[in-house]
A and B are shown apart, each in its own frame.
Chain A
Amino acid sequence: MGAISAFGLMGGFWSNQPVRVALAVGGGAALVCAVVGLSTVMRRQAFAGHALADVSGAGGSAAYLLGINPLFGFLGMAAGAAGVMEWAQVRDARERDLLTGVVLGAGLGLAALLLYLDMTVRSVSGAAITVLFGSMFTIPPSIVPVALAVAAAALVASALIFRPLLVSTLSVDLARAQGVSVRTTALIHAMALALAVSLSAMTVGAILSTALLIGPAAAALRVARRPASALVLAALIGLVATWGGIALAYQSYYWTPGRGWPVSFFIVMLIICAYLVASGIARLRAGAPDAPPLSGCQEH
C-alpha cells in the first residue's frame, strides 16, 4: 500500500516506474490469459483454471518464506498441480470436477499453513493480502524480463497446439483420426495454463486471476463467429481492462485522499462489464438466423 500512496505524489503517469512495470507485466498477463483462456473456456476447464490459480498462491507464499523470486514460487506450484490433474487423467466430467476440488482443497490447505508461517516465522504480515489479492504497483522491475519471457513461452506453446487442441476439444475421435496426439496436446495446454495463471496470479493476485483468464474469453465467445476473431476480441478485452484498470487505480488516488483503490478491483469490474455487454449483444442477435457457430461449444 505504501507504494500506492508514494507514487500519487510523484505526478506523471507514464514517467512513473511502478506504473510502467505494472503496464508491462499486466499487459503480458492479459494477453496470455486471453489466448489460453479461450481454449480453457471451450474445454470447460474454468474450474481447473481457477483451482490452479488458487493453488499457485501456495507457491507464492512459499517464495516469501524461502526469500526467492515470487514468480518462480507461483510457477512451480501451478505447474505441479496441473501435472497432477493431467496425470490422474480423469475422463468423466463428474469425476474431473471432484478431483479439481480436491486438488484445490489440498493446495489451499497448504497455502493456509505457508501464509501462517510467513506471518509467524518471517513476520511478513502483508503476505496473505499480497499473494491472494495481488499488488501490481509493488512488482520489482527485475521481474519484467522473466515475466515477459514466461508470457512469450506460453503464447508460443498455445500457438503450436492451437489447431490440434481446437479439433480435440470439438471431437476427440476426429482428432485421433487426424493423427493428433490428444494426450500430449492436453498436457501442453495444461502447462500453458499453468504459465498463464502464475503470471496473472502475480499481477492481480491468486484468487482474482480467474477473472483475467475466464472473463475476456467467455465474453469473446459470446459474440465472435470464428476462432480467430474470438482470439483477437479476447486479447483486446483483456488488454483494455488491464491497462484501463491501472489508469483508473492511478486516478483513484485523488478520489479518496491518502489512499488509492486497488488495481485488481478495477480490472475485474471492467472485465465483468465487458462480459455483460457481450451477453447483451448476443441476446439481441439471438433472433437473427445466423447464430454464432462457436456458441455451440460454450452452451449446455
Chain B
Amino acid sequence: MMHAWIVATLVALAAGCVGFFVVARRAAFAAHALPLGAFPGAAAASLMGVNEFWGLAGFSVLGVLAIGQLQRVGRREIASALWLAGALALGVLLLNLSGRYAQSVYGLLFGDLLGIDTTQMAVVAAFSGLTVALVAWVARPLLLDSLSSELASAAGGRASALEFAFLGILALSTAIAVPVVGAMLVFSLMVGPASAARAFTDRPWRALVIAVGICLVTVWSAIALAYLTNWPVGFFVGVLSSFCYVAGRLRGGTTALAQVA
C-alpha cells in the first residue's frame, strides 16, 4: 500500500504539470489516445516476456510518431482516433494470441494498486522527474504557443517542434501512470484538476501549481477510498476528477485565463 501511495504521488505530480498544458492546448483526445494506445504494448511485452514498462514506453513513442505523421494529412482528432483504433485492434489481437487473463487486462485498463513493486517504483520516480524537468524546460515557449501560435512563431518558436515535444512529454507521463491509474483513466487525472485550477487564478504558473495540488488531493482521496471500499481506484479517480471540473465551473470559469486557456 505504501508503494502505491508513493507511486501515485509521483504520477500525480507529473500529471498535474502536463495536465495544465493539455487543457491549454485542448489536447484531451490526444491525452486519452496516447495512454490507451500504449496498452497493447503491455500485452506485447508479456508475450515476449519483458518488463511491461518497456512495452508501454515503446507503444507511446509509436503513438507520438503515428499521431504526428497522421496530423500532417488530416486533423489532430482524426489522427488521434485512427491511431487509437489501430493500436487497440493490435492489442485485441495480442491479447487473443497470448491468452492473457481477463483480470490482468482489467488491471491494465483501470489500474491496479497492489501490483506495484520496488523496481517499478524506481522507474516511475525516474520518469516522473524527467517529465517535470522537461516541462520546466519547454514551459515558456509551450505556453506562448498554446495561447497564441502567431505570437510564438514571431518570438522564434517552431510550432511543429513544440507540438512534437508536447506529445512526447504527454506520452512519457502517461506511460508511467498506466499501471497505477490504468490506461483508461490517466487522462482524467490531467483534464479534471487542471480545468478546475483555471477557476482560481488568472496567472498561468499559479494555475499550474494549483492543478498539481488538486491532482495530489484527487489521487490521495481516490487511494484512500479504494482502500476503504475495496472498489477499483480508477472509479474514484474518474469520478473525483469530474467533480473537480464541475466545482470549477460552478465557482465561475469566467476569469481571464479561463477565456484563453
Whether chain B is bound by chain A comes out as yes
Chain A interface: which of B97-105, B131-139, B204-212? B97-105
From 55 to 105 in chain B, residues with beta carbon under 8 angstroms from any chain A beta carbon are 73-75, 77-78, 80-82, 84-86, 88-90, 92-93, 95-97, 101-103, 105
From 256 to 275 in chain A, residues with beta carbon under 8 angstroms from any chain B beta carbon are 256, 259, 261-262, 264-265, 267-269, 271-272, 275
Contacting pair B78 A109 (CB below 8 A): no
From B31, B75, B96, B182, contact of A112 by CB (8 A)? B182
CA–CA, A100 and B80, complex, Å? 15
Determine whether B36 belongs to the interface, using a CB cutoff of 8 Å to chain A: yes
Contacting pair B238 A110 (CB below 8 A): yes
Least distance between A103 CB and chain B CB atoms (Å): 8
Q: Interface range on chain B: under 10, 10 to 19, 20 to 34, or 35 or more?
A: 35 or more
From 22 to 77 in chain B, residues with beta carbon under 8 angstroms from any chain A beta carbon are 23, 26, 28-29, 31-32, 36, 73-75, 77
Determine whether A172 belongs to the interface, using a CB cutoff of 8 Å to chain B: no
From A102, A103, A125, A215, contact of B85 by CB (8 A)? A215
From A94, A109, A126, A265, contact of B89 by CB (8 A)? A265
Contacting pair A208 B29 (CB below 8 A): no
Chain B interface: which of A128-136, A140-148, A187-195? A128-136
- Of chain B, the residue at the smallest CB distance from A300 is B75
In the complex with contacts A207-B36, A269-B86, A222-B74 CB distance below 8 A: yes
Give the total of A residues in contact with B, Cβ under 8 Å: 63
Contacting pair B241 A268 (CB below 8 A): no
From B77, B239, B246, contact of A47 by CB (8 A)? B77
CA–CA, A300 and B88, complex, Å? 27
Which residues of A sit under 8 angstroms from B185, Cβ to Cβ?
105, 108-109, 112
Least distance between B28 CB and chain A CB atoms (Å): 3
CA–CA, A111 and B95, complex, Å? 20
Contacting pair B191 A261 (CB below 8 A): no
Which residues of A sit under 8 angstroms from B129, Cβ to Cβ?
none
In the complex with contacts A108-B238, A208-B88, A259-B96, A299-B81 CB distance below 8 A: no
Which residues of A sit under 8 angstroms from B237, Cβ to Cβ?
109
CA–CA, A262 and B89, complex, Å? 9
Contacting pair B73 A279 (CB below 8 A): yes
- Of chain B, the residue at the smallest CB distance from A128 is B106
Which residues of B sit under 8 angstroms from A265, Cβ to Cβ?
89-90, 92-93, 96
In the complex with contacts A113-B231, A259-B97, A210-B85 CB distance below 8 A: yes
Chain B residues within 8 Å of A, Cβ to Cβ: 23, 26, 28-29, 31-32, 36, 73-75, 77-78, 80-82, 84-86, 88-90, 92-93, 95-97, 101-103, 105-106, 109-111, 182, 184-185, 187-188, 191-192, 195, 231-232, 234-239, 241-242, 245-246, 253, 261
Known contacts A47-B29, A94-B26, A110-B238; 6 further A-B pairs (Cβ under 8 A): A97-B28, A101-B32, A102-B245, A105-B191, A208-B88, A256-B97
